[in-house]
C-alpha cells in the first residue's frame, strides 16, 4: 500500500444495499485501536500504479487499477463484488471520490465496507449509495447477516443525484456502532446500528455496476468531542429509555428508544443488597414495580422476580428490572449506546463493580458515565480513564469550567431551569472543550430555544419526537417545499400519533391533503382512523408540489394501543392485553370477534382482529 498525498479533488466513498428488515448487532471490538496515530491515515491510495495495492484482497468480482483509478465491476455471477483492505479500527473516517461508470438500473449501488472479515465472509456492515441516489433509499446503512441475508437499518435520500459519469465526494465517519454518511460534504444519514467485530477491516462493494474510485483514505479519529458541529442537529439522549412510551429503565423502553434512533440511551444504576448493579431510578422499587422496599435492602434475586411493566400498562406485564450486565448485553446484541447514571450514594467498590461489568462485557467504547456526585466521576476516571464523563447539575456551579477541568469532563449536563439562569455558560464550557447537554426537556419550543442557544444535546423522555424535530431541522434549508413528518416511507403503528409537518421557504401557506382530504399543517394524524397500508400526503404551493407516502403497519405496541383505547369493557380489555402479552394472537383475534362479549365498536373490532391475525 502506498502512503502518498491525496490529489486535490473532493472526497468520496460509496454505499448501497437494497433490501429490508431488523437489526443484529454485536459489540465494537475492544481489541481494536484508534490507530497508530489518530488523524494520520492508515490507508491513503491514489492508485497511480498498475496493480492492486499491497494487502488488498479482491474477494469477488473484477477489480483492477486503470488510468489512475481503482475500477470495480460486478458480474452476473458476482453481484456482491467486494475487495477488502485496511486494519481493525474502532473510530475512523473512510472517504473517496467515486463515479458510476455504468449500472444495470437506478437501484444498483456501491458501498463502503465499514466492518468486513479480511476474507470477505459474512457478516458485514456497509454504507451504500445508489446510482439513483435521490430515491428514498438512495443512501443506506445495512448489514449482511451471518445467515447471508440483508438487514437494512437506515435509509435516506442523498442531497444530490449521482447518476452515470458524475464524480462525487463521499465519506462515512464511524464511532463504535454509530456512523454518519456525508455526500458532497453534507451530512445525509446517521445510524446507531453498525455491526462490529473484533477483526473487521474496511472494504468496497459494487452491485450491478462498474464503479471507479480515487483518493481513497481511511483515517483513525481522535477522541470524540461531544460538542455539536455547526449545522448538526441536537444529540438525542433517551431519558430512562423512551420513558414516555414504555416503562422506564427496562428492555422495552430501550427498544423503543433504539427504534427512535436515539444515539444514546440513558439508564440509572444502583447496587442491590448483595452488590449487583441493577437498572432502576428510585431508591425504592415501590413506584415502578409490584414490589416494595429499598433497592439496597433487596437481593438481586428478589428484584429479578418483580414485575416492572404492569404499572405502566398491562401490555408491558412481565418486564423485569434488568441488571447492568443484562442491559449491556441487550445493547450489545440489539444496538445502542449507554449513558449510564451512577445514581445515589456509592462506595468506591460499588463503582469498581460497575466499571468491571462495562469492561467485562466489552462495552467501554459504547458507555458514557454521568453522575450528580463528583467523587463518583473521580473514581470512574481513576478506574477507567477511557470512559467519557458528564456531571449532572440541578443548579450551575459558580465556575462550571473549573469543575469541568478538575473532573476532566466530556460534558456538563445541567437542568433546563439551571441553564436558563445563565446561558452564557454554554460558550464558556465550549471554549474549554466541554459539551452541554440539558435535562429533561420534552417540549419542542424549548428544543428550538436550546438549539439556538448552542447546547449540544437534549436528555428527553420523547426521543422519537426529538429525532423527528431534528429531521425537520436538517431539512429547513433544503427544498422549497418538503414534507418533513411523517418521514417519507415511514412505517407507523397505531400507537404513534405523528404530526403533519410541511416545511417551505415560500411565503404562501401550503395546501395539504392526506389521501385526498384536506388537513392542516401541524395537525396530528389519528393512526387508529386509517386503514392498514400505504397513505399519501400531498403539499402544494402554486405550481410547486411535494408528495410523500407512509405506511400503517401492525405491531405489538400498536395492537396494545388499539386495545387500551378501544372503549371496550374493562374485563375485555384485561383479557385482550393478557393474551397479547402471552403472544396468543389467534386466541386474541377469536376473543375480540366473539359476539357481544367485548363491547368493541365494529371498526375497532375489525382493526384488532386484523392486527392480531397479522402478528400470528
For CA atoms 452, 453, 457, 459, give the dihedral sign.
negative
What whole-number distance in Å separates Cα of residue 616 and Cα of residue 602?
21
What whole-number distance in Å separates Cα of residue 346 and Cα of residue 584?
43
What whole-number distance in Å separates Cα of residue 76 and Cα of residue 61?
9
* Residue 165: count of CB within 10 angstroms of its CB: 9
Q: Which residues contact 424 (CB under 8 A, 6 or more apart)?
A: none
Which helix (H) or strand (E) element contains residue 115? strand 109-116
The catalytically annotated residue of 97, 239, 346, 376 is 239
The catalytically annotated residue of 97, 281, 376, 561 is 281
Q: What is the CA radius of gyration of the chain?
A: 25
CB of 48 within 8 A of CB of 129?
no
Is 346 tagged catalytic? Answer: no
**CA–CA distances in Å: residue 287 to residues 257, 284, 310, 563:** 22, 7, 11, 24
**What is the grid cell recorded at 559?**
395492537
What whole-number distance in Å separates Cα of residue 24 and Cα of residue 149?
11
**CA–CA distances in Å: residue 204 to residues 100, 180, 193, 248, 385:** 13, 17, 19, 41, 35
What whole-number distance in Å separates Cα of residue 267 and Cα of residue 364?
16
Rounding to the nearest 10 degrees, give the CA dihedral for residues 150, 108, 476, 10: 110
Q: Which residues contact 500 (CB under 8 A, 6 or more apart)?
A: 485, 512, 514, 519, 520, 521, 522, 523, 524, 525, 537
CB of 127 within 8 A of CB of 180?
no
**CA–CA distances in Å: residue 445 to residues 140, 176, 451, 452:** 31, 32, 10, 11
**What is the grid cell recorded at 535?**
397513505
Alpha helices, DSSP H, located in 213-273: 251-259
What whole-number distance in Å separates Cα of residue 360 and Cα of residue 113?
28
The DSSP bridge pattern shows strands 517-518 and 511-514 to be antiparallel
CB of 355 within 8 A of CB of 384?
yes
SS (H, E, C) 523-549: CECCHHHCCCEEEEEEEEECCEEEEEE
Is 281 tagged catalytic? Answer: yes
CB of 615 within 8 A of CB of 556?
yes
| Of 577, 556, 555, nearest in space to 566 by CA | 577
| Residues recorded for the chain | 616
Q: What is the phi/psi pair of residue 141, to 5°?
A: -110, 130
Is 203 strand, coil or helix? strand
Would you name the residues annotated as active-site residues? 239, 281
Amino acid at each position: 500500500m502506498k502512503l502518498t498525498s491525496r490529489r486535490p479533488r473532493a472526497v468520496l466513498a460509496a454505499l448501497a444495499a437494497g433490501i429490508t428488515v431488523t437489526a443484529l448487532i454485536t459489540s465494537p471490538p475492544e481489541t481494536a485501536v484508534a490507530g497508530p496515530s489518530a488523524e494520520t491515515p492508515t490507508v491513503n491510495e491514489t492508485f497511480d500504479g498498475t496493480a492492486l495495492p499491497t494487502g488488498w484482497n479482491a474477494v469477488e468480482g473484477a477489480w483492477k487499477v486503470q488510468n489512475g483509478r481503482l475500477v470495480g465491476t460486478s458480474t452476473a455471477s458476482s453481484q456482491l463484488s467486494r475487495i477488502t483492505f485496511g486494519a481493525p479500527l474502532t473510530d475512523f473516517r473512510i472517504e473517496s471520490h467515486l463515479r458510476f461508470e455504468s449500472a444495470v438500473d437506478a437501484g444498483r449501488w456501491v458501498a463502503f465496507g465499514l466492518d468486513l472479515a479480511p476474507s470477505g465472509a459474512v457478516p458485514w456492515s456497509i454504507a451504500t449509495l445508489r446510482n439513483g441516489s435521490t430515491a428514498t433509499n438512495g443512501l443506506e446503512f445495512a448489514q449482511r447477516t451471518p445467515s447471508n441475508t440483508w438487514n437494512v437499518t437506515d435509509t435516506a435520500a442523498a442531497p444530490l443525484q449521482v447518476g452515470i459519469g458524475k464524480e462525487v465526494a463521499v465519506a462515512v465517519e464511524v464511532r463504535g456502532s454509530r456512523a454518519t454518511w456525508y455526500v458532497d460534504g453534507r451530512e445525509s444519514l446517521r445510524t446507531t446500528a453498525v455491526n462490529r467485530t473484533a477483526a473487521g477491516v474496511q472494504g468496497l462493494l459494487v452491485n450491478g455496476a462498474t464503479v471507479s474510485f480515487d483518493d481513497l483514505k481511511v483515517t483513525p479519529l481522535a477522541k470524540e468531542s461531544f460538542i455539536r458541529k455547526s449545522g448538526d442537529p441536537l444529540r438525542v439522549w433517551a431519558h430512562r429509555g423512551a420513558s414516555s412510551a414504555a416503562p422506564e429503565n427496562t428492555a422495552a423502553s430501550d427498544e423503543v428508544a433504539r427504534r427512535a434512533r436515539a444515539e444514546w440511551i440513558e439508564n440509572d444504576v444502583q447496587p442491590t443488597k448483595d452488590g449487583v448493579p441493577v437498572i432502576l431510578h428510585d431508591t425504592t422499587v415501590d413506584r415502578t414495580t409490584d414490589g416494595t422496599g429499598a433497592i439496597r435492602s433487596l437481593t438481586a434475586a428478589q428484584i429479578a422476580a418483580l414485575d416492572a411493566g404492569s404499572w405502566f400498562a398491562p401490555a408491558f406485564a412481565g418486564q423485569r428490572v434488568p441488571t447492568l450486565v443484562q442491559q449491556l448485553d441487550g445493547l450489545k446484541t440489539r444496538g445502542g449506546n449507554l449513558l449510564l447514571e451512577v445514581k445515589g450514594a456509592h462506595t468506591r467498590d460499588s463503582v469498581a463493580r460497575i466499571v468491571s461489568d462495562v469492561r467485562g462485557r466489552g462495552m467501554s467504547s459504547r458507555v458514557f458515565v454521568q453522575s450528580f456526585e463528583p467523587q463518583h466521576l473521580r473514581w470512574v476516571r481513576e478506574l477507567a480513564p477511557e470512559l467519557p464523563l458528564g456531571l449532572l447539575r440541578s443548579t450551575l456551579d459558580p465556575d462550571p469550567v473549573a469543575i469541568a477541568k478538575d473532573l476532566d469532563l466530556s460534558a456538563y449536563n445541567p437542568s433546563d431551569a439551571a441553564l436558563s439562569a445563565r446561558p452564557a455558560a454554554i460558550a464558556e464550557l465550549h471554549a474549554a472543550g466541554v459539551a452541554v447537554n440539558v435535562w429533561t426537556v420534552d417540549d419542542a419550543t424549548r428544543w428550538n430555544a436550546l438549539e439556538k442557544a448552542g447546547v449540544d444535546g437534549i436528555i428527553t423522555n420523547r426521543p422519537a419526537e426529538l429525532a423527528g424535530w431534528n429531521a425537520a431541522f436538517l431539512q429547513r434549508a433544503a427544498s422549497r417545499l418538503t414534507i418533513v413528518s411523517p418521514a417519507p416511507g415511514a412505517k407507523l403503528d397505531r400507537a404513534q400519533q405523528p404530526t403533519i409537518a410541511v416545511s417551505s421557504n415560500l411565503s404562501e401557506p401550503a395546501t395539504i391533503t392526506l389521501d385526498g382530504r384536506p388537513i392542516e399543517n401541524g395537525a396530528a394524524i389519528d393512526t387508529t382512523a386509517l386503514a392498514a397500508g400505504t397513505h399519501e400526503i400531498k403539499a402544494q404551493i402554486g405550481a410547486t408540489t411535494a408528495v410523500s407516502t407512509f405506511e400503517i403497519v401492525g405491531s405489538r405496541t400498536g395492537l396494545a394501543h388499539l386495545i387500551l383505547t378501544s372503549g371496550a369493557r374493562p374485563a375485555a380489555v384485561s383479557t385482550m392485553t393478557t393474551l397479547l402479552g402471552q403472544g396468543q394472537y389467534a386466541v386474541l383475534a377469536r376473543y375480540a370477534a366473539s359476539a357481544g362479549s367485548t363491547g368493541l365498536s365494529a371498526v375497532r373490532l375489525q382493526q384488532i382482529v386484523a392486527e392480531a391475525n397479522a402478528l400470528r
